[in-house]
Amino acid sequence: MKKPSPLVEITGTGRFLPDDIVTNDDLAEHLDTSDEWIQTRTGIRERRIAPPDMGAAYMGAAAARKAMEQAGVEPGEVDVIILATATPDRWLPSTACDTQALLGCSNAVAFDVIAACTGFIYAMSVAECYVAAGRAEVALVIATEKMSSIVDWEDRSTSVLFGDGAGAVVLRPANGSARGILSSHLGSNGDLADLLYRPGGGSAVPLSQQVLDEKSHLIRMEGREVFKHAVRCMADSCHVALQNAGLTVDDVQLLIPHQANIRIIAATAKYAGLPMEKVFVNVNRYGNMSSATVPVALDEADEEGLITPGSNVLTVAFGSGLTWGAMALRW
């Protein structure tokens, strides 16, 4: 198979994590849980929690500034901002527009993509189309999540899993460079929406006292079912993205999977055919930051020198929707 040449390159990455660290022991002070249970079942040791007055737009803008600085891009040069979030600052306007205002990217068109934990891969594939089609010279992709604002802190089966943070990348035309997006694969299955969702507070069940009393505006999840689908969908998606890139697992230097649970990560790597030495893991430090996990990991992997120019990097994610997707990159 002919190997595709990248049309779109990543020229900068950035991340932002709130300062406040909440450990498992901190959670065990007011929840019927333990550090031992959480670490054994999820691999999570601690997570970052944003202060009450810090929203997704603030965190996204902070990550984006770092990505823009690395890419040498001024705010006025950004043509499009595509922002993934499951935790918008407010329902109107989009968090992308709020972030645009914080960044001063006054020449950009800005909009949100909602695909839960797969949001970054979805947003990247939309941005790739914009840049490849010549509709944008500079695209800013941001994934930012304040998961602490949508979990029920009295529900031990969900609250221990999530954390807050943001990641961002700058995309530009590859212009003949061998580096960039090699392929992607996306999937969704709305029939399984109720496995991981927020039942109330939207237009179908508007916010009411009953919604608040039942806490139906917060995350509900069938953990075991989600686990099974996550592993299968992510492993399958890895195979398709690699095939579309004309690569095999042996060509991959680093797998960057969505960081939800170390057991999901290990099972996905196993079914995808990659040893754990080639898998990036930071779920122990941050928990599940939904769409932000992959760009935060990408930025850390780059900073730590785990990926260098020429490395083949496979990213993969899974989330509510259900949604899933993988993207093969040449660094």
Number of residues located near ligand COA, criterion CB under 6 A: 22
Question: Please, what is the Cα angle at 32 between 26 and 37, to 5 degrees?
Answer: 75
Among the listed residues 289, 281, 330, the one whose alpha carbon sits nearest the alpha carbon of residue 310: 330
- Rounded Cα distance between 268 and 264, Å, is 6
Among the listed residues 313, 242, 301, 311, the one whose alpha carbon sits nearest the alpha carbon of residue 272: 242
- Write the interaction track for ligand COA spanning residues 104-143; mark x where CB under 6 A is met and - where it is not: -------------x--------------------------
Q: Which is nearer to ligand COA, 87 or 261 (CB)?
A: 261
By CB under 6 A, name the one of 16, 122, 318, 331 that touches ligand COA: 318
By CB under 6 A, name the one of 260, 313, 327, 328 that touches ligand COA: 260
DSSP assignment letter at 173:
E
- Is 45 among the residues that bind ligand COA (CB under 6 A)? no
Active site residues: 117, 258, 288
> Could you tell me the end-to-end alpha-carbon distance of the chain, in angstroms, rounded to an integer?
21
By CB under 6 A, name the one of 13, 144, 261, 315 that touches ligand COA: 261
Whether the Cβ atoms of residue 286 and residue 167 lie closer than 8 Å to each other: no
Q: Which is nearer to ligand COA, 156 or 232 (CB)?
A: 156
Q: Which is nearer to ligand COA, 237 or 288 (CB)?
A: 288
CA torsion 168→241→190→287, rounded to 10°?
-40
Residues near ligand COA (CB under 6 A): 33, 37-38, 41-42, 117, 156-157, 160-161, 221, 223-224, 226-227, 230, 260-261, 264, 288, 318-319
